[in-house]
Chain A
């Protein structure tokens, strides 16, 4: 049974790491539905959040193969109920179209969107939410004339507490008391 999974992984901030990860997914013919990369809360560690659609068996296999990469610290695989996730979207709408109805008030109240910029030609609206909410707002704005629409990949936090920290600690201990200072190699 194919299903949507959110793969969150922590890596060293090294050149080429994304390429190494995509090689593994490509070999297994898995498409990345969305991807975001950013600095994590831990210094020097990058966080990647990917959404893929595949089987439970396959997601575990690729997660282990990704985790095996030397520069990858830890991989977590979650199904949707296990995470709280958001995407962000920007909508550039014609001012004339948006002003024509009583849309503006609704945007803020009903859809919890924000107005970022207003010009005589266009208005930029920002909204964060899940995929469905963002798509729903696009449908609402469409009649007003959407000039541009972009959405980010997914970012997610888990409902568990402090899992990476605990893991890092365990790993340090397994390092058999090696207390060398960490050097980051680029």
Chain B
């Protein structure tokens, strides 16, 4: 991950060698790593750190969420929009376990977050003491690395390692568990950033022969297709990707997390891949003669039935995590390296080509999808309001100049399909984990990163109620997020599956909802409910013009389905365009 780090190369600091407490050392280390914002929640074991935090409030802003899960999601979103490492604090026991969903979410989506949890006094560890939990053991499968610190003297090196591991290679969450006595104890403070770990080397030498092979394969291909994933954004390869596509005349399809890696208005943008992706890239995956997968991992939601996936294509896999190569899909050429380094070397070897005939095939299928799915969804003209038309209206009115946050479910797919992204790192969503409740806390985290553009969160009525206590955080810090609550009084995606695959038996998916206007009012958040199509665009305009936080609820079609769909077990070329 190419980090926009704020620290200079200067090692050490003015207080080199000074005696400080473990808690203070921790805060100094964070400042050395360029941290200025922390999301967290205090509690017994972490009190020494919070006590010291008060003295550092000019350099370290702490945002008190209403639940540790919220802090974890906020820290992740902050990392995703800023390109820096997110930081999250929680206390021992329940504080630590409440983070787990957030840690796992960051792990599956490769986002660098350093989680600091407090632990009971070292003498009590392992005795089932009050608020003691084995967070090291619990978080082991969902962290890139974790460690426990029981001596104050070990804090600086643990933090240095944590940041180095979190942001290098394939980024990911790291957890450091610090016992209460280590926070209180004094140490002689000095700090050096970590740049090398013997057993972990994220810098892989570039093998030019592989790059040359890739160039030959691309230059000889008639129907190449690029699959761009989150890795393109993480490695800072968006420009190189564009150069590759333009020089070779190669269409670019994106995974959910790769959506903002390539401008959607670009003529080579082929759309989203996978279950609810666009028609052309899914169908044409199975006609392509070459697939160039960059920074993605062939998730089952992307590939559909693996036995019928890309039968005619040779596959080049450019991926920094070697364990992802040949994990789900057998590839013909593996390039285990950083996407940007590989593409920088590859682009000069690519022969200029337009591949008009191949690109025309995308346009033909795009037309079919537009007539059958997109037009009725984004411009229905009559009937209840559809999710797609809300997203399209926001897309039109912001012209892509916004940071878009989503929760999980139908509305998430509507955003992925109908928002036209133009800048990288402008989509914050929960991909691998599919964590409902991610959206609201993520939106406040994204807005705290000062992205310059407005932060707009699309959230369904189900996911909103999983973490709605974070409205309190938004109120307290006056965080100017624009929340669009798409309310169909259903757990929409589960309802859709019940309709399609469970004979329409709606088991526990219908929701009786509160009056969200009154709720927003209780938190002092400006709010408006839209029930009629005619007022939609004007209401969005009012929302965007509002200075502070704003909640816009849209009453949408209760039983609409997200289409097209690659049904479970189907091949990507076997797309359901219409249903009912």
- Which residues on A are within 8 Å of B, measured CB to CB? 11-12, 15-16, 19-20, 23, 27, 60-61, 64-65, 67-68, 70-73, 171, 173-176, 178, 180, 182-183, 185
Contacts and interface: CB of A to CB of B under 8 A. Distances in A.
B136 A171 contact: no
A99 to B, nearest CB: 49
Contacts of B574: none
B551 interface: no
B199 A12 contact: yes
Contacts of B140: 16, 19-20, 23
A41 to B, nearest CB: 15
A174 B200 contact: no
A12 B141 contact: no
B123 interface: no
Interface in B311-340: 321-323, 325-327
Contacts of B158: 185
B200 A64 contact: no
Nearest to B154: A185
30 contacts: A12-B198, A15-B148, A16-B137, A19-B137, A23-B141, A60-B326, A61-B326, A64-B323, A64-B325, A64-B327, A68-B321, A68-B323, A70-B165, A71-B199, A71-B200, A73-B199, A171-B198, A173-B205, A174-B201, A175-B196, A175-B203, A176-B203, A178-B196, A180-B195, A180-B196, A183-B157, A185-B147, A185-B154, A185-B157, A185-B161
B197 interface: yes
A72 B145 CA distance: 11
B144 interface: yes
Contact of A67 (B157, B161, B322): B322
Contacts of B198: 12, 73, 171, 182
Contacts of B200: 70-71
Contacts of A178: 195-196
A178 B198 CA distance: 11
Nearest to A185: B157
Contacts of A19: 137, 140
Given A70-B165, A174-B205, A61 B199 contact: no
B204 interface: yes
A27 to B, nearest CB: 8
Interface residues of B, number: 29
A14 to B, nearest CB: 8
B264 to A, nearest CB: 33
Given A71-B199, A173-B205, 20 more contacts: A12-B198, A12-B199, A16-B140, A23-B141, A61-B326, A61-B327, A64-B322, A64-B323, A67-B322, A68-B321, A68-B322, A70-B165, A70-B197, A70-B200, A73-B199, A175-B201, A175-B203, A176-B203, A185-B147, A185-B157
B506 to A, nearest CB: 34
Given A11-B199, A171-B201, A174-B201, A67 B154 contact: no
A30 B73 CA distance: 33
B323 A67 contact: yes
Contacts of A11: 199
Closest 3 interchain pairs by CB? A64-B323, A70-B145, A178-B196
Nearest to B170: A68
B326 to A, nearest CB: 7
Contacts of A175: 196, 201, 203
A64 to B, nearest CB: 4
B49 to A, nearest CB: 21
Contacts of A70: 144-145, 165, 197, 199-200
Nearest to A74: B199
A10 to B, nearest CB: 8
A171 B201 CA distance: 7
Contacts of A23: 140-141
A180 B147 CA distance: 22
B342 to A, nearest CB: 16
A179 B196 CA distance: 9
Nearest to A11: B199
B496 to A, nearest CB: 30
A174 B154 CA distance: 27
Contacts of B195: 178, 180
Contacts of A176: 203
Nearest to A181: B196
A23 B142 CA distance: 11
Contacts of A185: 147, 154, 157-158, 161
Contacts of A183: 157
A184 to B, nearest CB: 9
A60 B322 CA distance: 11
A174 B327 contact: no
Which residue of A16, A73, A176, A185 has the most chain B CB atoms within 10 A of its CB atom? A185
A11 B196 CA distance: 16
A23 B138 CA distance: 11
Interface in B31-70: none
Interface in B145-193: 145, 147-148, 154, 157-158, 161, 165
Contacts of B323: 61, 64-65, 67-68
A70 B197 CA distance: 9
Nearest to B192: A180
Contacts of A12: 198-199
Which residue of A12, A64, A68, A70 has the most chain B CB atoms within 10 A of its CB atom? A70
A72 B199 contact: yes
B133 to A, nearest CB: 15
A65 B144 CA distance: 11
A82 B161 CA distance: 37
Contacts of A27: 141
Contacts of B203: 174-176
A171 B154 CA distance: 26
A171 B200 CA distance: 9
Nearest to A179: B196
A31 to B, nearest CB: 18
A67 to B, nearest CB: 7
Nearest to B324: A64
Which residue of B144, B154, B201, B321 has the most chain A CB atoms within 10 A of its CB atom? B201
A32 B327 CA distance: 21
Which residue of A20, A72, A173 has the most chain B CB atoms within 10 A of its CB atom? A20
